[in-house]
Structure 1
Amino acid sequence: MNYAIVNIKGMQFKLFEKKYVYVPYLSQDLGKKISIKKVLLFYKNGIAKIGTPILEKISVQIEILNHLKGKKIIIFKKKRRKGYKIKNGFRPIFSKIKVISFLEE
């Protein structure tokens, strides 16, 4: 099975062809097809190509399917014996993407 390890917003993701992945929010419109050029590793037919640090001639074509919120993350701060307690939280926004194909030049 072919796969690529790419860098999206400072995080590394292992992408398989025709599979779905949740990544940090991408500010593109829904249904838009974009190309990711920061490919760190590409594996095809038993042969792995490793970039130093990225592969120049390989890109990954993806489609943005959905934007959604994740589960709530609770941030709780406390200092003992001081009466200081703060409870905050937020829900991070993710983008659901589908890998269309890997392009080799």
Structure 2
Amino acid sequence: MFAIVRTGGKQYRVAAGDKIVVDKIDGEAGSSIELGDVLLAGDGSELRSTDGLTVAAEIIAQAKGEKVIVFKKRRRHNYRRRNGHRQRHTILRIVGIGGHGGGEQRSADTAEPAQA
């Protein structure tokens, strides 16, 4: 099962067990969060309703991206400015995609049905 979620103004296609890098989300490493802005969900080629659907994720780490150098110059005016920026990121592991409150929950741990 897959879902398309929106966080930080960007959209990500996720499935159970995936790792994604998103813009900074508050939380400590190891804590669980829910991404509630699900735009599309489906299993193979058939689509599901996204009413009340959430994506459960676990924060792996808080990190910084690579440094971007911003250099401004105006010719013949002795004007030079050099500035750097490192974007903060959060690395997430998708635990499962499921309904909120008793809906179907599929995760990486439940790939095979339990034997009774």
TM-score by length of 2: 0.78
Alignment partner of 1:90 is 2:89: no
Q: Equivalent residue for 2:111?
A: none
Which residue is 2:68 aligned to? 73
Runs of 4 or more, structure 1, over 3 Å off, are none
Partner secondary structure for residue 26 of structure 2: coil
How do residues 10-49 of structure 1 correspond to structure 2 at under 5 angstroms?
10-49=9-48
Q: Distance in 1 between the 2:15 and 2:78 partners?
A: 50
The two structures, once aligned, show a CA RMSD in angstroms of: 1.5
Question: Partners of 1:102 and 1:41 in 2: how far apart?
Answer: 11
Gaps of 5+ in 2: 104-116
The answer to whether the Cα contact below 8 Å between 2:55 and 2:97 also exists between their aligned partners in 1 is yes
Paired AA for residue 89 in structure 1? G
Give the share of equivalent positions with the same residue, in percent. 27
Deviation of the 1:3 alpha carbon: 1.6
Of the two, which has the highest radius of gyration?
A: 2
Q: How many residues align?
A: 100
The SS at the match of 1:26 is: coil
Conserved in 2, the CA contact under 8 Å of 1:70 and 1:93? yes
**In structure 2, what is the Cα distance between the partners aligned to 1:6 and 1:76?**
35
Query: Residues 5 and 13 of structure 1 are in contact (CA less than 8 Å); yes or no, is this contact kept in structure 2?
Result: yes
Q: Distance in 2 between matches of 1:16 and 1:45?
A: 11
- Deviation string 1:57-83 (CA, Å, 9 cap, x unpaired) is 211000001011111011111122222
> In 2, distance between residues paired with 1:57 and 1:4?
13
Unaligned runs of 5+ in 1: none
